[in-house]
Amino acid sequence: MTRTFIALEMNKALQRHLSGFIHQVAPVLPGMKWVNPQGIHLTLAFLGELDDDQLQLLSAATRQAASQVAPFTYRLTRPGIFGSPRQPRVLWMGIEERTGSLTQLHRLLQQQLKQRDFPVETRPFSPHLTLARGKAPLVPGIY
């Protein structure tokens, strides 16, 4: 079994930019567990533990969806959080892709996964890059 997700990798320039952002922000938010900038990615689907047969089905679904979308670029927008400001679960960086191709890719991928009986996300697609996860409530007054 393999823990599996489908994601877009960041190029080196974006990794360097996000590394600089993390380096600036991490000292003022010590209650966060920061990700390695080289591993930052844009998750399109998380599928959990899959066996080899499921991985083959997943690979076919991914290829099918990707073949229907033209190449695109995106840019970073602004940071944000999931959770409350006092106890953020996730600190993230937003993504903007103006042509709609990223959303189309996500929609097509969800269709392909559903056709192959994989579970699909029911929440709206919110493209973002996870930068840190909250470990504990933030301590008032030190930030």
Nearest to 131 by CA among 3, 38, 8, 13: 38
Give the helix ranges, DSSP H, for the chain: 12-25, 52-66, 101-115
Given a cut of 60, whether residue 84 has pLDDT beyond it is yes
> Residue 139 falls within a domain, yes or no?
no
Q: pTM higher than 0.75 for the full model?
A: yes
Interval 16-55: pLDDT, tens: 999 999 999 999 888 899 999 999 999 999 998 999 999 9
Which tokens hold the place of 112?
């392909």
Q: What is the mean pLDDT of residues 120-133?
A: 93
CATH number at residue 112: 3.90.1140.10
Domain assignment present for residue 63? The answer is yes
Would residue 104 count as lying in a domain?
A: yes
Reply yes or no on whether the pLDDT at 141 is more than 60: no
- Assigned domain for 38 exists: yes
Res 20: pLDDT: 96
Domain count for the chain = 1
Q: How confident is the model at residue 87 (pLDDT cuts 50, 70, 90)?
A: confident
Domain of 52, in residue numbers: 2-134
Q: Is residue 142 part of a domain?
A: no
Cα separation, 88 vs 31, whole angstroms: 10
Nearest partner of 45 among 59, 29, 31, 25, judged by Cα: 59
3-class DSSP assignment, residue 19: helix
Average pLDDT, stretch 93-114?
Answer: 96
Q: What are residue 128's DSSP bridge partners?
A: 94
Higher-confidence position of 39 and 135? 39
Q: State the pLDDT at residue 46.
A: 92
In a domain, 140, yes or no: no
Residue 119's Cβ-count burial label (10 Å; 0-12, 13-18, 19+) is exposed
Distance CA 119, CA 47 (A): 7
Split at pLDDT 50, 70, 90, the class of 105 is very high
Question: Which amino acids are annotated catalytic?
Answer: 41, 128
